[in-house]
Protein backbone atom coordinates (compact mmCIF):
# COMPACT_ATOMS: atom_id res chain seq x y z
CA UNK A 1 0.00 0.00 0.00
CA UNK A 2 1.28 3.43 -0.93
CA UNK A 3 1.02 6.30 1.56
CA UNK A 4 -0.62 8.30 -1.24
CA UNK A 5 -4.39 7.55 -1.09
CA UNK A 6 -3.59 4.03 0.24
CA UNK A 7 -3.32 2.89 -3.39
CA UNK A 8 -2.03 -0.53 -4.41
CA UNK A 9 1.45 -0.23 -5.96
CA UNK A 10 1.91 -1.34 -9.59
CA UNK A 11 3.98 -4.48 -10.26
CA UNK A 12 7.75 -3.92 -9.99
CA UNK A 13 8.38 -5.32 -13.47
CA UNK A 14 6.01 -2.75 -14.99
CA UNK A 15 7.88 0.02 -13.15
CA UNK A 16 11.23 -1.36 -14.33
CA UNK A 17 9.93 -1.43 -17.91
CA UNK A 18 8.71 2.19 -17.64
CA UNK A 19 12.04 3.41 -16.24
CA UNK A 20 13.93 1.54 -18.99
CA UNK A 21 11.72 3.13 -21.63
CA UNK A 22 12.50 6.60 -20.28
CA UNK A 23 16.24 5.85 -20.04
CA UNK A 24 16.58 4.40 -23.55
CA UNK A 25 14.37 7.03 -25.21
CA UNK A 26 16.40 9.82 -23.60
CA UNK A 27 19.58 8.29 -25.01
CA UNK A 28 18.27 7.12 -28.39
CA UNK A 29 16.51 10.35 -29.26
CA UNK A 30 18.35 13.07 -27.34
CA UNK A 31 21.80 11.50 -26.75
CA UNK A 32 21.52 12.13 -22.98
CA UNK A 33 22.38 9.78 -20.14
CA UNK A 34 19.63 9.66 -17.52
CA UNK A 35 20.42 11.51 -14.31
CA UNK A 36 18.57 13.70 -11.84
CA UNK A 37 21.02 14.98 -9.23
CA UNK A 38 22.94 17.25 -11.63
CA UNK A 39 19.61 19.02 -11.99
CA UNK A 40 20.18 20.29 -8.43
CA UNK A 41 23.37 21.93 -9.72
CA UNK A 42 21.38 23.48 -12.57
CA UNK A 43 19.04 25.01 -10.01
CA UNK A 44 21.99 26.18 -7.87
CA UNK A 45 23.64 27.70 -10.93
CA UNK A 46 20.66 30.01 -11.36
CA UNK A 47 21.57 31.82 -8.12
CA UNK A 48 25.18 30.93 -7.20
CA UNK A 49 28.15 32.17 -9.20
CA UNK A 50 30.95 29.99 -7.79
CA UNK A 51 33.22 28.76 -10.66
CA UNK A 52 31.84 25.22 -10.20
CA UNK A 53 28.37 26.35 -11.25
CA UNK A 54 29.71 28.29 -14.24
CA UNK A 55 31.22 25.24 -15.93
CA UNK A 56 29.62 24.33 -19.24
CA UNK A 57 28.67 20.79 -18.12
CA UNK A 58 26.15 22.44 -15.77
CA UNK A 59 24.90 25.39 -17.81
CA UNK A 60 24.67 23.43 -21.10
CA UNK A 61 22.37 20.89 -19.44
CA UNK A 62 19.67 23.39 -18.51
CA UNK A 63 17.58 23.02 -21.70
CA UNK A 64 16.91 19.35 -20.97
CA UNK A 65 17.47 18.87 -17.22
CA UNK A 66 15.07 21.56 -16.05
CA UNK A 67 12.14 20.28 -18.20
CA UNK A 68 12.88 16.72 -16.96
CA UNK A 69 12.72 17.94 -13.32
CA UNK A 70 9.49 19.79 -14.14
CA UNK A 71 8.09 16.57 -15.61
CA UNK A 72 8.87 14.63 -12.41
CA UNK A 73 6.83 17.22 -10.51
CA UNK A 74 3.92 16.96 -12.99
CA UNK A 75 4.07 13.14 -12.81
CA UNK A 76 3.53 13.37 -9.05
CA UNK A 77 0.62 15.79 -9.45
CA UNK A 78 -0.99 13.58 -12.09
CA UNK A 79 -0.60 10.49 -9.93
CA UNK A 80 -2.37 12.21 -7.01
CA UNK A 81 -5.13 13.70 -9.18
CA UNK A 82 -5.92 10.40 -10.93
CA UNK A 83 -5.61 8.41 -7.72
CA UNK A 84 -8.27 10.25 -5.73
CA UNK A 85 -7.56 13.96 -5.92
CA UNK A 86 -4.73 16.34 -5.08
CA UNK A 87 -4.49 17.86 -1.62
CA UNK A 88 -1.56 18.92 0.58
CA UNK A 89 -0.64 16.20 3.09
CA UNK A 90 1.85 15.58 5.92
CA UNK A 91 1.32 11.77 6.00
CA UNK A 92 4.60 9.91 6.44
CA UNK A 93 3.61 6.26 7.03
CA UNK A 94 5.73 4.39 9.58
CA UNK A 95 7.52 7.60 10.58
CA UNK A 96 4.15 8.74 11.99
CA UNK A 97 3.39 5.46 13.77
CA UNK A 98 6.91 4.70 15.10
CA UNK A 99 8.52 8.14 15.59
CA UNK A 100 5.48 10.39 15.68
CA UNK A 101 7.05 13.82 15.41
CA UNK A 102 4.81 16.72 14.43
CA UNK A 103 5.07 18.81 11.28
CA UNK A 104 7.88 21.02 12.62
CA UNK A 105 9.97 17.97 13.49
CA UNK A 106 9.38 16.52 10.01
CA UNK A 107 10.58 19.74 8.37
CA UNK A 108 13.84 19.67 10.36
CA UNK A 109 14.28 15.90 9.72
CA UNK A 110 13.68 16.28 5.98
CA UNK A 111 15.90 19.35 5.63
CA UNK A 112 18.74 17.54 7.42
CA UNK A 113 18.29 14.46 5.20
CA UNK A 114 18.23 16.72 2.15
CA UNK A 115 21.65 18.16 3.06
CA UNK A 116 23.08 14.61 2.96
CA UNK A 117 21.36 13.92 -0.39
CA UNK A 118 22.48 17.14 -2.09
CA UNK A 119 26.08 17.03 -0.89
CA UNK A 120 26.42 13.24 -1.14
CA UNK A 121 24.99 12.76 -4.65
CA UNK A 122 27.14 15.54 -6.07
CA UNK A 123 30.28 14.27 -4.36
CA UNK A 124 29.53 10.76 -5.67
CA UNK A 125 28.83 12.10 -9.16
CA UNK A 126 25.29 10.79 -9.40
CA UNK A 127 22.30 9.24 -7.65
CA UNK A 128 20.04 6.21 -8.04
CA UNK A 129 19.23 7.08 -11.64
CA UNK A 130 22.65 8.20 -12.93
CA UNK A 131 24.72 5.56 -11.15
CA UNK A 132 22.13 2.93 -10.12
CA UNK A 133 20.16 2.66 -13.38
CA UNK A 134 22.29 4.12 -16.18
CA UNK A 135 25.79 3.47 -14.80
CA UNK A 136 25.08 -0.13 -13.78
CA UNK A 137 23.34 -0.83 -17.11
CA UNK A 138 26.42 0.54 -18.89
CA UNK A 139 28.69 -1.67 -16.73
CA UNK A 140 30.64 1.28 -15.25
CA UNK A 141 32.80 0.40 -12.23
CA UNK A 142 32.47 3.80 -10.40
CA UNK A 143 28.68 3.32 -10.58
CA UNK A 144 28.90 -0.13 -8.98
CA UNK A 145 31.12 1.30 -6.21
CA UNK A 146 28.71 4.19 -5.61
CA UNK A 147 25.59 1.99 -5.69
CA UNK A 148 27.05 -0.47 -3.18
CA UNK A 149 28.04 2.51 -0.96
CA UNK A 150 24.63 4.16 -0.89
CA UNK A 151 22.70 0.91 -0.54
CA UNK A 152 24.96 -0.16 2.33
CA UNK A 153 24.67 3.19 4.12
CA UNK A 154 20.89 3.15 3.70
CA UNK A 155 20.60 -0.36 5.14
CA UNK A 156 22.76 0.60 8.14
CA UNK A 157 20.93 3.89 8.80
CA UNK A 158 17.39 2.50 8.56
CA UNK A 159 18.25 -0.55 10.67
CA UNK A 160 19.91 1.67 13.29
CA UNK A 161 16.80 3.85 13.45
CA UNK A 162 14.01 1.26 13.34
CA UNK A 163 15.64 -1.82 14.90
CA UNK A 164 18.26 -0.45 17.32
CA UNK A 165 17.16 3.00 18.50
CA UNK A 166 13.38 2.39 18.36
CA UNK B 1 12.51 18.76 -27.66
CA UNK B 2 11.46 20.51 -24.46
CA UNK B 3 8.12 18.71 -24.72
CA UNK B 4 9.92 15.36 -25.06
CA UNK B 5 11.94 15.98 -21.87
CA UNK B 6 8.83 17.20 -20.08
CA UNK B 7 6.91 14.11 -21.25
CA UNK B 8 9.66 11.65 -20.30
CA UNK B 9 9.96 13.36 -16.90
CA UNK B 10 6.20 13.09 -16.39
CA UNK B 11 6.15 9.38 -17.25
CA UNK B 12 9.20 8.81 -15.01
CA UNK B 13 7.53 10.72 -12.16
CA UNK B 14 4.21 8.88 -12.53
CA UNK B 15 5.94 5.48 -12.49
CA UNK B 16 8.05 6.42 -9.44
CA UNK B 17 4.91 7.63 -7.66
CA UNK B 18 2.76 4.55 -8.36
CA UNK B 19 5.45 1.90 -7.85
CA UNK B 20 6.53 2.81 -4.32
CA UNK B 21 9.90 4.26 -5.40
CA UNK B 22 8.76 7.63 -4.04
CA UNK B 23 7.12 6.17 -0.91
CA UNK B 24 8.71 6.46 2.55
CA UNK B 25 7.45 3.05 3.73
CA UNK B 26 8.61 1.20 0.58
CA UNK B 27 12.10 2.72 0.89
CA UNK B 28 12.39 1.71 4.57
CA UNK B 29 11.06 -1.76 3.64
CA UNK B 30 13.85 -2.06 1.07
CA UNK B 31 16.53 -1.12 3.62
CA UNK B 32 14.97 -3.41 6.27
CA UNK B 33 14.81 -6.28 3.71
CA UNK B 34 11.09 -6.69 4.44
CA UNK B 35 9.85 -5.51 1.03
CA UNK B 36 11.17 -6.82 -2.32
CA UNK B 37 9.46 -4.16 -4.48
CA UNK B 38 12.37 -1.69 -4.86
CA UNK B 39 14.89 -4.47 -5.59
CA UNK B 40 12.50 -5.70 -8.28
CA UNK B 41 12.13 -2.22 -9.76
CA UNK B 42 15.85 -1.38 -9.88
CA UNK B 43 16.82 -4.93 -10.89
CA UNK B 44 14.34 -5.17 -13.75
CA UNK B 45 15.14 -1.62 -14.92
CA UNK B 46 18.84 -2.56 -15.16
CA UNK B 47 18.05 -5.97 -16.67
CA UNK B 48 16.01 -4.35 -19.47
CA UNK B 49 18.19 -1.25 -19.95
CA UNK B 50 21.57 -3.06 -20.11
CA UNK B 51 20.92 -5.15 -23.27
CA UNK B 52 19.02 -2.27 -24.94
CA UNK B 53 21.97 0.00 -24.22
CA UNK B 54 24.39 -2.59 -25.62
CA UNK B 55 22.41 -2.85 -28.86
CA UNK B 56 22.09 0.94 -29.16
CA UNK B 57 25.86 1.33 -28.69
CA UNK B 58 26.51 -1.28 -31.40
CA UNK B 59 24.18 0.63 -33.73
CA UNK B 60 26.25 3.67 -32.74
CA UNK B 61 23.80 6.40 -33.72
CA UNK B 62 20.81 8.18 -32.24
CA UNK B 63 17.48 7.83 -34.02
CA UNK B 64 18.17 11.16 -35.77
CA UNK B 65 21.46 9.78 -37.14
CA UNK B 66 23.92 11.65 -34.88
CA UNK B 67 26.83 9.67 -33.43
CA UNK B 68 25.97 8.29 -30.00
CA UNK B 69 27.99 9.94 -27.21
CA UNK B 70 28.06 8.43 -23.72
CA UNK B 71 30.44 10.24 -21.38
CA UNK B 72 31.61 7.78 -18.71
CA UNK B 73 31.58 8.87 -15.08
CA UNK B 74 35.05 9.23 -13.53
CA UNK B 75 36.13 7.08 -10.56
CA UNK B 76 37.34 8.85 -7.39
CA UNK B 77 37.09 8.67 -3.60
CA UNK B 78 33.86 10.69 -3.76
CA UNK B 79 32.09 7.58 -5.13
CA UNK B 80 32.41 5.90 -1.74
CA UNK B 81 32.23 8.92 0.60
CA UNK B 82 29.48 10.67 -1.36
CA UNK B 83 27.64 7.37 -1.82
CA UNK B 84 27.62 6.77 1.93
CA UNK B 85 26.39 10.32 2.67
CA UNK B 86 23.65 9.98 0.04
CA UNK B 87 22.60 6.59 1.44
CA UNK B 88 22.15 8.16 4.88
CA UNK B 89 20.05 10.94 3.34
CA UNK B 90 17.97 8.46 1.31
CA UNK B 91 17.20 6.54 4.51
CA UNK B 92 16.37 9.68 6.53
CA UNK B 93 13.97 11.16 3.97
CA UNK B 94 12.80 8.02 2.17
CA UNK B 95 13.55 9.89 -1.06
CA UNK B 96 16.31 9.97 -3.64
CA UNK B 97 16.59 13.04 -5.93
CA UNK B 98 13.87 12.18 -8.49
CA UNK B 99 11.30 11.18 -5.85
CA UNK B 100 11.87 14.45 -3.92
CA UNK B 101 10.22 16.24 -6.86
CA UNK B 102 7.60 13.50 -7.26
CA UNK B 103 6.63 13.79 -3.57
CA UNK B 104 6.29 17.58 -3.88
CA UNK B 105 4.03 17.00 -6.89
CA UNK B 106 1.93 14.51 -4.92
CA UNK B 107 1.29 17.23 -2.34
CA UNK B 108 3.56 15.96 0.45
CA UNK B 109 4.48 19.23 2.14
CA UNK B 110 7.58 17.99 4.02
CA UNK B 111 9.24 17.10 0.67
CA UNK B 112 9.74 20.85 0.14
CA UNK B 113 12.11 20.80 3.13
CA UNK B 114 13.99 17.85 1.59
CA UNK B 115 14.37 19.83 -1.67
CA UNK B 116 15.59 22.90 0.22
CA UNK B 117 18.15 20.77 2.07
CA UNK B 118 19.29 19.13 -1.18
CA UNK B 119 19.82 22.46 -2.91
CA UNK B 120 21.79 23.81 0.05
CA UNK B 121 23.83 20.58 0.14
CA UNK B 122 24.59 20.73 -3.60
CA UNK B 123 25.41 24.44 -3.26
CA UNK B 124 27.84 23.83 -0.39
CA UNK B 125 29.46 21.04 -2.41
CA UNK B 126 29.94 23.22 -5.48
CA UNK B 127 31.38 26.11 -3.49
CA UNK B 128 33.82 23.81 -1.63
CA UNK B 129 34.87 21.81 -4.73
CA UNK B 130 38.41 23.28 -4.85
CA UNK B 131 38.95 22.35 -1.19
CA UNK B 132 37.60 18.78 -1.63
CA UNK B 133 39.52 18.13 -4.83
CA UNK B 134 42.76 16.97 -3.22
CA UNK B 135 41.46 14.82 -0.41
CA UNK B 136 38.74 13.19 -2.57
CA UNK B 137 40.96 12.90 -5.69
CA UNK B 138 38.27 14.63 -7.76
CA UNK B 139 38.74 15.43 -11.49
CA UNK B 140 39.48 18.99 -12.65
CA UNK B 141 36.68 21.46 -11.93
CA UNK B 142 35.61 21.73 -15.57
CA UNK B 143 34.85 18.00 -15.64
CA UNK B 144 33.32 17.62 -12.19
CA UNK B 145 32.53 14.40 -10.33
CA UNK B 146 30.29 13.00 -13.06
CA UNK B 147 26.98 14.25 -14.40
CA UNK B 148 24.09 12.21 -13.12
Prediction ipTM score: 0.97
Task: Note the pLDDT tens digit of each residue in A60-114.
Answer: 889 999 999 999 999 999 999 999 999 999 999 999 999 999 999 999 999 999 9
pLDDT for the residue A57: 85
Q: How far apart are CA B134 and CA A66, in angstroms?
A: 31
DSSP 8-class letter at B73? P
Q: Are B95 and B114 in contact (CB under 8 A)?
A: yes
- With CA atoms as reference, the chain B residue closest to A7 would be B18
- With CA atoms as reference, the chain B residue closest to A62 would be B2
Pinpoint the alpha helices (H) of chain A: 12-30, 38-45, 51-54, 56-59, 62-82, 94-98, 103-124, 136-137, 141-159
Q: Do A133 and B10 touch (CB under 8 A)?
A: no
Q: Nearest-CA neighbor of A91 among B25, B32, B17? A: B25
- Return the minimum-mean-pLDDT range out of A27-31, A55-59, B47-51: A55-59
Pinpoint the alpha helices (H) of A60-102: 62-82, 94-98
Does the pLDDT of residue A51 top 90, yes or no?
yes
Best of B2, B4, B9, B50 to disrupt the A interface by mutation (most A CBs within 10 Å)? B9
pLDDT for the residue B80: 98
Of chain A, the percentage scoring pLDDT greater than 70 comes to: 100
Q: Are B13 and A71 in contact (CB under 8 A)?
A: yes
- How many of the other CB atoms lie within 10 Å of CB of A55? 19
Distance (Å) of CA A86 to CA A76, A156, B101: 10, 34, 15
Q: Euclidean distance between the first and final Cα of chain A, in Å?
A: 23
Count of CA atoms in the C-beta half-sphere (13 A) of B100: 30
Q: Do B108 and A121 touch (CB under 8 A)?
A: no
pLDDT for the residue A166: 87
Of chain A, the percentage scoring pLDDT greater than 90 comes to: 95
Tell me which residues of chain B have a pLDDT lower than 70: none
pLDDT for the residue A59: 87
- How many of the other CB atoms lie within 10 Å of CB of A98? 11
Q: Are B114 and B103 in contact (CB under 8 A)?
A: yes
Does A152 lie at the interface with B, CB-CB under 8 angstroms? Answer: yes
**Average pLDDT, integer, range A7-29:** 97
pTM of the model: 0.97
Q: Do B100 and A112 touch (CB under 8 A)?
A: no
Q: Which of residues 100-129 of A touch B (CB under 8 A)?
A: 103, 106-129
Q: Do A119 and B85 touch (CB under 8 A)?
A: yes
Q: Do B121 and A28 touch (CB under 8 A)?
A: no
Q: Is A46 exposed, middle or buried (0-12, 13-18, 19+ CB in 10 A)?
A: exposed
Q: Nearest-CA neighbor of A127 among A3, A37, A23? A: A37
Q: Do B84 and A150 touch (CB under 8 A)?
A: yes
> A21 to chain B nearest CA, in Å?
8
Rg (chain A; Cα; Å) = 18
Rg (chain B; Cα; Å) = 18
- Return the minimum-mean-pLDDT range out of A22-31, A49-58, A107-116: A49-58
Angle between helices A103-124 and B97-106 (to 10 degrees): 150
pLDDT for the residue B148: 72
Amino acid sequence: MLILHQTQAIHWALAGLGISFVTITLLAVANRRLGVSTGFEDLCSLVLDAPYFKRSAVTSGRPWRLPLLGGLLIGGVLSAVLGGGWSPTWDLGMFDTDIGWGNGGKVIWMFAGGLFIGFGTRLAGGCTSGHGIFGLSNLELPSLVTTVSFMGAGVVTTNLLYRVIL
Amino acid sequence: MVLLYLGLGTLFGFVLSRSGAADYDFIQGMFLFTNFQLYGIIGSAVAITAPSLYLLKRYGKTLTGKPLVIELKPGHRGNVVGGILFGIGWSITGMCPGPILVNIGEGKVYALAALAGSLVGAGVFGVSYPRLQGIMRLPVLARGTGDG
